[in-house]
Structure 1
């Protein structure tokens, strides 16, 4: 394996893979990962040795395998491969964020950050579902007569 950037990327991928496994309630064992992965992947099976290399940060799977891992572990392929991308709130400087958040918001964020990873994922899914519902409601309100689409 190449040194430098590729080694750092492989190590970072390993951390993200272990976090995704933990969040999904899967033991990060090479044998378990290989077995569960092979149940879902329609290409050539992987060995426990391959899964060990992913978990140890020695290699990064090809994109088709990352897609299978992401579907299995319920994370986006890009986030699994490259890490989370900052959203609009994260892109704000701390002063702008401070002005946007009231005391209740800050308390809620502190409680969120104290949750285990699996619980954070649940909160993220609920917020995402609520954002979709709000967008649909807003779109319906903007239609002539304020009626939902049929």
Structure 2
């Protein structure tokens, strides 16, 4: 098969769609995808058969549907359609330990950003305290009172 054929592109899109669904915690079922998609799409609804074609790598949705999928699954529409960007990465992607955020993480961050500054500061302090506790736990178990020489 020649490189870059429509069939290859449809298979690659299918893989990216399945990964986005998995990352969002959505079962890659044609019925689930069609139902959830139709809740968010303003145009003519799709059938489970259409969703099955997307998931099976037989068809690629039109751009307006890709936009709806990307908003629902919180992914970049261009990356969903064409794959990851090549070349220069964004600064945040170059940071050590940078990972893809789960749907729950992105929702939590959106809620955090909606908080007033005073409440954000409280959340920051809680997260900092939890980070200190996690580092302490990772460094080993605390010494018992007996091991410290206390009675």
TM-score interval (norm. to shorter): 0.5 to 0.7
Q: Do residues 74 (structure 1) and 53 (structure 2) align?
A: no
The separation in 2 between residues aligned to 1:70 and 1:53, in whole angstroms, is 17
Shift of 1:25: 0.4
TM score, norm. by length of structure 1: 0.59
Q: Which has the larger radius of gyration?
A: 2
Structure with more helix by fraction: 1
TM score, norm. by length of structure 2: 0.59
Cα-to-partner distance string for 1:85-142 (whole Å, 9 max, x where unaligned): 024259xxxxxxxxxx9xxx8xx55xx6xxxxxxx3229x89xx9xxxxxxxxxxxxx
Shift >4 Å, 4+ stretches: none
Aligned-CA RMSD value: 2.8
The count of corresponding residues between Structure 1 and Structure 2 is 100
The separation in 1 between residues aligned to 2:43 and 2:27, in whole angstroms, is 23
The runs of 5 or more residues in structure 2 that have no matched partner are 110-151
The runs of 5 or more residues in structure 1 that have no matched partner are 91-100, 113-119, 130-150
